Amino acid sequence: TYNGTWNVDRSENYEKFMEQMGINMVKRKLAAHDNLKIILEQTGDKFVVKEASTFRTLDLEFTLGVTFEYALADGTMLSGSWGMEGDMMKGTFTRKDNGKVLTTTRAIVGEELVQSYSYDGVEAQRFFKRG
């Protein structure tokens, strides 16, 4: 189950990923230490998400397979949805400013939640531990 509190522990290639996303260096440096915390609560197809970081706190809800909008911390708007493929969450989101696609997955691997990100040929991962 994805339910619970997840604190980011470490990231792989996240700096490169943010660069590909067009995030400037100052923001990338800050984002590398954003202390991201995600609280997930799934009931059937519905997820309630609470996100907290050094940048902001945000509450949102989505339903699997249903398109919603999501603003990145820098204001970039995404539109897309999450689905389930087996036990893995797979999200496909489109940037509203340039139409490019960002895909992301969440999976439980051992004791960790691993989120992968892919955009414009660059991939990254962030690893979360239960809080």
Query: Which positions touch ligand MYR (CB under 6 A)?
Result: 18, 21, 23, 38, 49, 51, 60, 70, 72, 78, 91, 93, 102, 104, 117
Q: Which residues of 70-89 are buried (b: 16+ CB within 10 A; e: fewer)?
A: bebbeebebebebeeeeeeb
User: What's the closest the beta carbon of residue 111 comes to ligand MYR, in angstroms?
Assistant: 20
Residue among 72, 63, 61, 62 nearest 36 (CA): 72
Nearer to ligand MYR, 91 or 128 (CB): 91
User: What's the closest the beta carbon of residue 91 comes to ligand MYR, in angstroms?
Assistant: 5
The residue whose two tokens read 């414009």 is 120
User: What's the closest the beta carbon of residue 112 comes to ligand MYR, in angstroms?
Assistant: 16
In angstroms, the CA 109 to CA 60 distance is 24
Nearer to ligand MYR, 8 or 23 (CB): 23
The closest residue (CB) to ligand MYR is: 21
Nearer to ligand MYR, 8 or 102 (CB): 102
In angstroms, the CA 74 to CA 18 distance is 11
